[in-house]
Structure formats: C-alpha cells, structure tokens
Structure 1
Amino acid sequence: MRLLLTVFLCFIILSSGKFNIININQYSKSSIQVTVYGAVLRQGVISLDPYATIQELLSKAGLNENADISSLNLETILHDKDVLTIPTKSSDISVNLISINTSDLNGLLQIPKIGEKTAQAIIDYRNQHGLFQILEDLMKVKGIGQAKFDFIKDKICL
C-alpha cells in the first residue's frame, strides 16, 4: 500500500509539469571565510575549504608563543563567517576571557551565573547553528536573557 501511494504521488508530481531541474553546484561554496583574533600571527579573515576544522585554521593563521589552545576542540568544524578568538596564556586568571565558541562544558561553567544546563545549551546551540558571530548571539540560547548577558558580557569572548 505504501509503495502504491509513493508511486501515485510521484506520478502526480511529475505529471504536473511544475518542477525545475536545478544545478545543486551553484549552491555549494568553494571556500568559507572565518575571522580569527587573539593569540595568532595572522589576525583577520582567513579563507578555508568548506568543513575545515579549527586545527586547519590555526595552521593557516599560525599561533604566537602566548597561545593557549588547551581548551579548544581542534576538530570543531567551522562554518562560513565564523569568528574565533584564540586565548592567551596568563597567570592572572581574572584577565582571561572565556570563549563561548571554543570552551568545553567545564570551561563554560567558569562563566558566572552559567550552570550545567545552560552550558550544555550553549554547546548544543553551537553544534546546531555553528559558532556565534557576535557576543549578543548568546542570547539566542535558551536560559540567557538580556540581564544574564549584561552580567557576563565582560567575562566572555568569541
């Protein structure tokens, strides 16, 4: 019965004459543009192949001697227009900003007023939508409103 229904629907769609063949290649990108700041030798926009990882970005940008990549997941796949800040090593922890784009669950838990549920929601958002483009995008995550964002915005970076 299901097969018959499928064949019938295909027949109706094909006989209607209201479909166009499209070239899917026109919608695929040959490169993505990612902006990188922080402890890299080459800051700014870097062109990469689609589905490039943070590791590939760092290979092109180069790390300076202060770079601290210990909290980064180097296998994270980047998307067009992603923005990344590579943290620096520092003995003064209060100066370090926490990256909402690269921190793991434990790193995100270091942000004041961010609990485990909200930290996981940030990671889930990144996995679904790609990296945050601007800090204010963090308010798209369930559990982070204007008041919480205003409280933490000076403690985070991309």
Structure 2
Amino acid sequence: MEVKIAGAVKKPGLYRLPENSSIGDLIRMAKGTLPWADLSSLDLTAPLSSDIIYIPEGKLNLNQASVEDLTFLPGIGPELARRIVRYREEKGGFDNLSQLKDVAGIGEIRFAKIKNKLTLK
C-alpha cells in the first residue's frame, strides 16, 4: 500500500508500506515527528485506513525545548538554538514569548516566523 504523510513529520512524502501497517509504522518511515507534533488525537497502533495521513501541529514549549528541538524551527540553526537555551538557563526560563527577541540573532522578522509555533506551557 502507498500512503502519503504530511504535517509535523521530519520527512513528509509518499511511502510504500506492507498491508496492515500502522500510523506509527508510517511515522517511523517518515523519520519521526517534529517536536511540536500533536499526537493526542491519533492512535499510533491503528492500521492505516487512508492513503493520506496528516500529523497535526501543536506548539513547542520554549521553556522545555532542547537545542535539537529548536533547530527544527524555521531560521533557527544550532548556534542560535544554543543561544536560546543559554538565555533560558541564565534567566530561569521565559516569562513571555517576546523575551525571545532579547536573544542575539532573533529580530522582529525571525520572531514573527516562529512565534506561532511556540508556547510557554
């Protein structure tokens, strides 16, 4: 069977799987989910019953995200992700998302691209 996966996965695309494969099998083929994927409404053990699966996006918790998690955000590379984590550790966490603009390298444009993908809780 061929199934397309889109949304909050690392490698969206069309995959060929054996019959009776599960959503979890498909996600593994797509190299896993992005850190902000919302799997709460999915039964990962359920057999695939559609030729298109969409993994919904939730939000990434800025106060818990790892350097690796942050690098999946648009425009955030490893060095900037390290700066974000360092800032968070020095300040004891973020109280509001706009504090992210205090991190060197995060200006208004970059902040606008990522703010809707983040949460503090």
The bucket for the TM-score relative to the shorter chain is 0.5 to 0.7
Choose from 83, 101, 107 the match for 1:139. 101
Q: Paired residue for 2:63?
A: 101
Name the counterpart of 1:10: none
Give the partner amino acid of 2:92: G
RCO higher in 1 or 2 (8 Å CA, sep ≥ 6)? 2
TM-score using structure 1 length: 0.42
Residues 94 and 101 (structure 1), Cα distance of their counterparts in 2 relative to 1, 3 Å cut: same
The answer for unaligned runs of 5 or more in structure 2 is: 1-34, 43-53
RMSD (Å) for aligned C-alpha atoms: 2.1
Tell me what 2:116 maps to. 154
Q: Matches of 1:94 and 1:151 in 2, distance apart?
A: 18
Q: Does 1:123 align with 2:85?
A: yes
Does the 8 A contact of 2:38 with 2:55 survive in 1? no
Q: C-alpha displacement at 1:151, in angstroms? A: 1.1
TM-score normalised to structure 2 length: 0.54
Higher helix share: 1
CA contact (8 A) 1:111 1:156 kept: no
What is the percent sequence identity of the aligned residues? Answer: 33
**Counterpart amino acid of residue 114 in structure 2:** I
Count of residue pairs the alignment pairs up: 73
For the structure 1 residues 109 and 94, does the alpha-carbon distance in structure 2 shift closer, same or farther, using more than 3 Å as the test?
farther
Show structure 1 runs of 5+ residues with no match: 1-70, 72-86
